[in-house]
Chain A
Amino acid sequence: MDAVVNWLLMFLPRAIRQGVPLLFGSTGEILTEKSGHLNLGIPGIMYMGGVSGIIGAFFYERFAGDAYIGWLAVLITTLSALLGAAVMALIYSFLTVTLRANQNVTGLALTTFGMGVGNFFGGSLAQLFGEGGSLSVKRTSEVFCKTLPFADDLGAVGTLLFDYGFLVYLSVAIALVVAWFLKKTRAGLNLRSVGEDPATADAAGINVTRHKYLSTVIGGAIAGLGGLYYIMDYTHGTWSDGGFGDRGWLAIALVIFALWKPASAIWGSFLFGGLYVLPAYLNFGDNRSMQYLVSMLPYVVTLVVLIITSMRKKREHQPPASLGLPYFREER
């Protein structure tokens, strides 16, 4: 019994930590998709968010020296992550909204570019400044990793609920805010109508272009925080090339799993996080290969959900009706 509890106390926090980048990513992607844009550039945007954050921290650490202030470091790091991700999303929206480019192609190009920029600066920044070694911002990372002060005094509950850096709580908060925004506000209603039926939204006097831009850019910025969390908290401020891996794609898959509901993305991301790290916490004995079969799980689960939703055809569970289609008022 104790063994199970101990295992869970090891596994669950790890699943949650693993799920946080996914949650940021899918919350951002949900917001984007609600405007009718399937942004396959999210993986690139998340890379960009991560690398912009670490660059911000790197420069602040270099130039602040002894005058280093923790909260300022966090602020600068977070702002630069948001900025980097938002600029990427802006490129995407300029190409797909204003220039009406194909969303899939643009998204894939953005991912190529974002991963390139991420890995390049992550891998070369230290080199460019003649410091050598891999890029590392331990000092700022420690601030990001700071847990709630009373976490250690609360035993298991503390470990499960309070032993995380602030970005973990932020990810849940943002998901809840986006859920509330989409469901309960007038602006959310208008945004959803743009993704469902832009012609109707247009006729109702809603500025379709502005909604598409705003939701794509804000969505991108939120996704960028996922990259930031990964670098500053999950890997403790050290960049490793390609380390972020396929989490961006998983975040997009999670959107389907959550049926375009940010609130469902919260538990969905922790579940996916769990599935993602599960192989490392299972004892396969001599059969090491099994862990890779288990690592298929998140993808297989996503496929099953995708198939079931398309078969059930329940209208509330379908993607926004105009997802992926460009809107041109004068289309014949």
Chain B
Amino acid sequence: MSEKVVKKHHREPLIHITKRESMAWWKAWSIRGVAILLALAVAGVIIMLVSDLNPVDVYVAMAGGNFNLEDPSQTRMMWVTFQKVAILLCISLAVTPAFKMKFWNCGAEGQTLMGCVAAATFMIYCGDSMQPALLFPLMLLVSMLAGALWGVIPAVFKAYYNTNETLFTLMMNYIAISLVAFLEIVWESPKNSAKVGVINLFTKGGWLPEINGNRYLPVIVTVLLVCILIFIYLKYSKQGYEISVVGESQNTARYVGINVKKVIIRTMAVSGAICGLAGMLLTSGINHTIYPDAVEGQGFTAILVSWLASFNPIAMIFAAFLIIFLQRGAGAIATNFGLDDSLADIVTGIILFFIIGCEFFIRYKINFRHSKKGGVD
């Protein structure tokens, strides 16, 4: 017995974190609601500091960036807001099946852009010559195929070689962006402008037709349709069920005889195809032109929207609206005060931090040393 070991008393640590079994859905959503309110408050304070607006005015001004508050009969602004919500929603819906499968599709940006490319190709080469009855179905089909192709490539490597899909899909984005930059020169108009310009400006060939004289509705209606379809696909179809099983446990999937490789590839084809559809809506229905930044980073934002909504397509409508509302609202404030419109990104970032952080309180329970056995749900 040369040296004595210092005796320590066994003590529970001050804070002990345990995994929650589950939480009532309304509790979970109220935690998220509180997080959003907190985030709005913090964002409001920041905007207040840089813009001299008082807190209430900040939110009024934000609303003013989305809706024409002075003259509600002027609906253009509102429609643009809804249209932007629709595009973001569409891409968010697209990435959702992949995420449910725990496949980190960070390539929505590129997949959407490929849809834009396909649509632009049709508009340029066939927009004025092909019958609309043939043109639009074909354009739709090829755009979706183009998006699907961009999604399937990383999926194949994931399925067969377990190649990291996060990084793979990220790289695919930039390849798509370079491709569009290349096509911009090929299709440039006028010569040496390095821009494609509005395609078929006068004939409107290949432009998505208006509904009732409203040029925003086609996009919005299509996306709402997609939303319902994805909701049904995920919840009620056999393929959607397989996606959930593979996402939860590949072992179980194999045990019940699901071909995991096939499901990975098929799901990414679906995911990419819907991105392709979003790209077509963007190019043929909204922009009528193509440029490398056409998707405006919504491919990334969509990942966050899908996650915010806990992969629930219906909740995603609200999540997409929230993000667009903030982006356009903050953008408007920035413009009014001569500030940079990146204010919108700051506000989005803050909201995301709060919601990401609040998930912890939904999934884990914090027990303090003296509280005997924190309550059970």
Contacts and interface: CB of A to CB of B under 8 A. Distances in A.
Interface stretch (B198-206, B207-215, B229-237, B336-344): B336-344
Q: Is the interface of B mostly helix, strand, loop or mixed?
A: helix
Contacts of B347: 116
B345 A112 contact: yes
A18 to B, nearest CB: 16
A259 interface: no
Contacts of A331: 19
Interface stretch (B67-75, B175-183, B220-228, B260-268): B175-183
Contacts of A109: 304, 349, 352-353, 356
B181 A292 contact: yes
B356 A299 contact: no
Contacts of A111: 300
A116 B300 contact: no
B178 A127 contact: no
Contact of B349 (A116, A123, A241, A295): A116
Contacts of B363: 100
Among A104, A108, A120, A311, residue most surrounded by chain B Cβ atoms (within 10 Å): A120
B371 interface: no
Contacts of B163: 306-307, 310
Interface in B16-32: 17-19
Among B157, B178, B186, B334, residue most surrounded by chain A Cβ atoms (within 10 Å): B178
Nearest to A319: B164
Contacts of B157: 307, 310
A299 B110 CA distance: 13
Given A127-B339, A241-B340, A100 B360 contact: yes
A156 B211 CA distance: 67
A293 B184 CA distance: 11
Given A111-B300, A292-B182, A307 B161 contact: yes
A100 B360 CA distance: 7
Contact of B356 (A40, A102, A123, A324): A102
Contacts of A246: 174, 177
Among A106, A115, A289, A300, residue most surrounded by chain B Cβ atoms (within 10 Å): A289
Given A99-B360, A100-B364, A102-B307, A120 B166 contact: no
B304 A105 contact: yes
Contact of A113 (B174, B182, B297, B348): B348
B34 interface: no
A95 interface: yes
A295 B181 contact: yes
B175 A110 contact: no
Contact of B345 (A100, A102, A119, A292): A119
B168 interface: yes
Contacts of B338: 124, 127
Contacts of A123: 339-340, 342
Nearest to B192: A288
B79 interface: no
B50 interface: yes
A326 to B, nearest CB: 10
B170 interface: yes
The 7 closest A-B pairs by CB, nearest first: A113-B349, A116-B345, A123-B340, A289-B185, A119-B342, A109-B352, A292-B182
6 contacts: A109-B353, A112-B300, A116-B342, A288-B185, A302-B171, A328-B17
